[in-house]
Amino acid sequence: MTARALSVAAAGRHEFSVEATQADGQKVVAKGNFDIVPFTAAMGPKVKNIIILLGDATPAGNAVHTSNGGACTGIVDQFFDDRAHTGLTVLMGGGRKWFLPAGTPGSARTDSNDYVFSATDAHTADIVKRWGAAPGNMDKGRDLIADFQRAGFGYAATKADLDRADAGKPLLGLFAFSNMNVALDKINGRCGTRQ
């Protein structure tokens, strides 16, 4: 799914689908149509980012600066904190556990998977100074879903939520506590079939 989102070459309206198995075992396929700017225009002033797998350094590399791929709390914090610089308007995928405050059932936020850019390290200080990136905070108790909602983002946790989402608002969609189930994509890719 990430590869599809990043390889879209033409601006316009594109359909993306996300498949997840909810905590109750119910399988959900959520589809939505979103206007996007092609990835090649990412430096433009109206870029819209769609990142499908959250809390992972590889897809997060489109909007996040870190050398620690396991710093999932810090990665998802930076999606929000730097949204004005990246143009983030749609963030969908798995990884709800990184958005829930520590102490909430299902949360995985800890100080050990968070980060703060060092003011004394030349590389990270430069990221903050020259790029305007947020320096970060050790904030395992942060409720990132609430932060997105206060900033005007709609929130979808299920297909029904996504179906009701206001297309005129930015969107946060978290459809699984951890990684999205990609087995169907892998099986279909290996077998050469598509649904």
Number of domains composing the chain: 1
Range of the domain at 138: 2-191
User: Tell me, what's the pLDDT at 145?
Assistant: 98
Please report which confidence band the pLDDT of residue 143 belongs to, taking 50, 70 and 90 as the band edges. Answer: very high
From residue 132, alpha-carbon distances to 14, 106, 125 in Å are 31, 32, 10
Beta bridge mates, 103: none
The total number of residues shown for the chain amounts to 195
State whether residue 34 is helix, strand or coil.
strand
Higher-confidence position of 50 and 43: 50
Q: Whole-structure pTM over 0.85, yes or no? A: no
* C-alpha to C-alpha distance for 57 and 37, rounded to whole angstroms: 22
**What's the token pair of residue 152?**
């005007």
pLDDT at 9 over 50: no
